[in-house]
Structure 1
């Protein structure tokens, strides 16, 4: 099954995308799959929660899984962090996130 996610890129363009729940993907990989960020500007660490290049803001009221200590620590060091900041590599694509709306943080 696919879930629908609305992703606003770094240029302010909005994209409604479908992401498969059966491929063990995360939000950062979905952004890469649809090429919504310039090559080499997202997921630089390969999804290890070590670079914050996949930081995004949650725009709608959504209950996402709790942040891990690694994600929390990385966001503590990152730039442009807001209350609703999360790392895309830490958000798995599951049926629970159908309808999620996010915006990529500035590079």
Structure 2
């Protein structure tokens, strides 16, 4: 468990071209993730059982989920329910915070 994480201690990885990810504070129920997207990045369409709360810190993204398209800019937020197929695209260079519940076990390996 990492209930307190200093930004400078958070490991940054690049799981796909145009994206960087940091695992921030988390426990067994919640996980905070920071993503940086380069302008033009297009994420892989996917789904997962976790509920995902998305907050755009800076920039702008387009999200497609369950046939709905939203454009979110700095200060905007939205929820992707667990099991819903979705995809994101960076309209601008962006910083995005994602909160997942329950915790993403597949991201725990990034902590260290």
What's the TM-score bracket when you normalise by the shorter of the two chains? 0.3 to 0.5
Q: Which has the larger radius of gyration?
A: 2
Structure 2-normalised TM-score? 0.35
- Name the one with the larger helix percent: 1
Structure 1-normalised TM-score? 0.36
Which structure has more relative contact order (CA 8 Å, sep 6+)? It is: 1
